[in-house]
Amino acid sequence: MSIEGPEWPALPLHAWQDTCSTLHRYTQIVGKVRLALSPTMNEWWQAPLYVTARGLTTSPIEHDHRSFEIDFDFLDHRVVVRASDGQIRSIELAPRAVVDFYAEMMPTLGAMGLSVSLREMPVEVPDPVAFSKDRAHRSYDAGYAHRHWEILRRLDLVFKKFRARFTGKASPVHFFRGSFDLAASRFSGRPAPPRAGADRITRVAYDEEVSSLGFWPGRQGIDEPALYSYTTPEPPGFADQRALPAEAFYSQALHEFVLPYDVVRQARDPEEMILAFAQSTYEAGARLAKWDRATLERPIEALLAA
């Protein structure tokens, strides 16, 4: 059955493209705070945000023996900073230029004794402009920001169910502020050959064989929200495999299977469709790449009973 309610909200990219681009940069500012103050982890797992019952969070971050976290609240439309010494500050989410959001966020942290130095350039966006100079991105439609979070909230719960089927190394379900997508990844446990021309981020992110499931609101020629799934290194024949449901297709440009979100939200049981897409695409890659599935997919009940 569906997670909650009969309908998943529509999210046509053209209707909130400007808000999406602005919010992308807001999340990059907050995400860079976490990145700057967190110890480096494999696969860059110190960089993402996480879905909450109200929005997105950094989770606790250390600063001079204190802890603090920064939350996006898409119900009250605020960014809230909470510190372990009891301090709480908030910033309104409203139509404002990135430069103005940045100019309020950084002094807010400083006033709480949480000063941090960031690299001001956003990543994984076309024609990047430093946060302190970006006046072009200034849109915030609260209704569409809420819809986007509502989809992330529902997908987070479904992705966690899919992750629970796998007892090998697997990522948390997390939101990458760089690529602006929700993702969950499984790993074979074997190293992957270095990618030609890989930068420092890609070298760490893809140093092991991986199968990833995710959702983005639209990117790289797919101008609509969609789920995606890929295996890398991509095994020969992967593109020719059959994915479920029938509406899923392999994108030669992205080297990923894609399932349009509109197909999911109009399905009789969106959760069942998402899990079928996730399972069929994972199995295709794991089978062709000869993953040790007997070890990696042991039922958790068997481990508990051992």
CB 70 within 8 A of CB 194: no
Q: What pLDDT score does 144 carry?
A: 97
pLDDT of 6 reads 61
The predicted pLDDT at position 221 comes to: 77
Residues in the chain: 306
In the chain, which stretches have pLDDT less than 50? 1-3
pLDDT in tens, 19-37: 999 999 999 999 999 999 9
- Taking the C-alpha atoms of residue 79 and residue 270, their distance in angstroms, rounded to an integer, is 30
Please give the pLDDT value at position 194: 84
pLDDT at 304: 66
> Which H/E stretch holds residue 242?
none
DSSP codes joined into one string, 128-185: ---GGG--S-----HHHHHHHHHHHHHHHHHHHHHHTT--SSBPPPEEETTTTEEEEE
Stated pTM of the model: 0.94
Residue 64: other Cβ atoms inside 10 A: 8
**pLDDT number for residue 3:** 47
* Confidence at residue 229, expressed as pLDDT on a 0 to 100 scale: 98
For residue range 48-107, list pLDDT tens digits in order.
Answer: 999 999 999 999 999 999 999 999 999 999 999 999 999 999 999 999 999 999 999 999
d(CA 11, CA 292): 38
Q: Quote the pLDDT of residue 2.
A: 42
* All residues at 6 or more sequence positions from 205 whose CB lies less than 8 Å from its CB, including other chains: 43, 44
Residue 7 burial (10 A CB sphere; 0-12, 13-18, 19+):
exposed
Q: Tell me the three state secondary structure of residue 209.
A: strand
- Percentage of the chain beyond pLDDT 70 is 95
